[in-house]
A = this chain, B = another copy of it.
Amino acid sequence: MKIAIDAMGGDFAPDEIVKGVEEARDRYEGLEFLLFGTEEKVKPLIQNMDRLTLVPTTEEIEMGEEPVKAMKEKPNSSMVQAATAVKNGEADAFFSAGNTGAILASAIFIVGRIRGVERPALATAFPSFGGKNDEFVFMDLGANAENKPSHLYQYGILGSFYAENIMGISNPRVRLLNNGGEEDKGDEVHKAVHQLMKDTDAFNFLGNVEAREIMEGTADVVVADGFSGNATLKAIEGTALTMLDQLKQSIKAAGLRGLLGALLLKPAFKSLKHKLDFQENGGAVVLGVKAPVVKTHGSAKAKAVANSMGQIERMVQENLVGKTADFIKENAEKMKVKKNAK
């Protein structure tokens, strides 16, 4: 199994990317890596070339660049070359910690959509507390700005396949992120999605969920439109950071007493912080394209990179893309009917 790696994407690239890949090589015996990157920068970082090939590239896509434009104007970039290797069958999956928009564009336009999938979506495994599983699939996180009811309906299928095959959750419970529990809640798009999901037998739909409750463990897949999914994800991250920061400041302001208390509670704080550091366990996945595409957060260090390789290995081993594609092909007529319903 070969993974195409964009060695130049991310705040700590190429150092932490190369380090992470070598860590993954030690951990996962079946993996080979195609490293795409600027030779003089990447080569000196590599410890040994076992199961690892360096493919020299001459361009880099920066974090701030306009995604589609960057992809088109930098055909020789590490990212575009890595995605192209997957397209050409030289690698089974594509990994990057770089510019999210450009990764999405490369996934959609170079790796390509699964036939029948209208819009690929960005998904991540997100922590939940108190339910029967301790994480759930949260999607779309911003791959798709213009969301139609049929797009969100398909996310239910894509997300269920991921939850079942990669996270090992049987008959995943799918919910729709909406601003109320009742089926008539939300704008026209969300009302229509609710009806499509309610009527389907393609997955196990249990109704709406509000943003307040998504971490309570009542869903294994939470489907959102890309705009509010993105806003919800960022609101959660921002709140968690703000609270930890405020707590630190309050502790500081409490002087010696605070210091002592904090020392005693250090393990408790650490356990909470660990649960919230879900991004360390793997990356976000572009679902609905013809091969596994995984994007780790920009500030990923070696460990998060290596963990993402484990995630990719599972996706390839379980043949997630093939299973999803087969289901969509077999259910093409049904999905078309669904689509025409709105």
Interface contact A268-B239, CB-CB below 8 Å: no
Binds B, one of A31-39, A210-218, A287-295: A210-218
**Which of B230, B231, B265 is A254 in contact with, Cβ under 8 Å?**
B265
Quick one: given A228-B228, A240-B239, are A142 and B272 in contact (CB under 8 Å)?
A: no
| Cα–Cα, bound, A58→B142 (Å) | 49
Q: Size range of the interface on A?
A: 35 or more
Report A326 CB to chain B, min CB distance, Å.
Answer: 32
Does A332 sit at the interface, judged by CB under 8 A?
A: no
Report A124 CB to chain B, min CB distance, Å.
Answer: 15
| Cα–Cα, bound, A227→B208 (Å) | 14
Does A237 sit at the interface, judged by CB under 8 A?
A: yes
Closest to A239 in B: B239
Tallying the copies of this chain within the complex gives 2
Question: For chain A, what secondary structure do more than half of its interface residues adopt (helix, strand, loop), or is it mixed?
Answer: helix
Q: Mark A250-266, 1 if CB is under 8 A from B, else 0.
A: 11011001101111110
Quick one: given A142-B179, A235-B211, are A258 and B265 in contact (CB under 8 Å)?
A: yes
Interface centre among A190, A231, A261, A267, by most chain B C-beta atoms within 10 angstroms, is: A231
Interface contact B267-A254, CB-CB below 8 Å: yes
Quick one: given A211-B231, A232-B231, A234-B210, are A265 and B240 in contact (CB under 8 Å)?
A: no
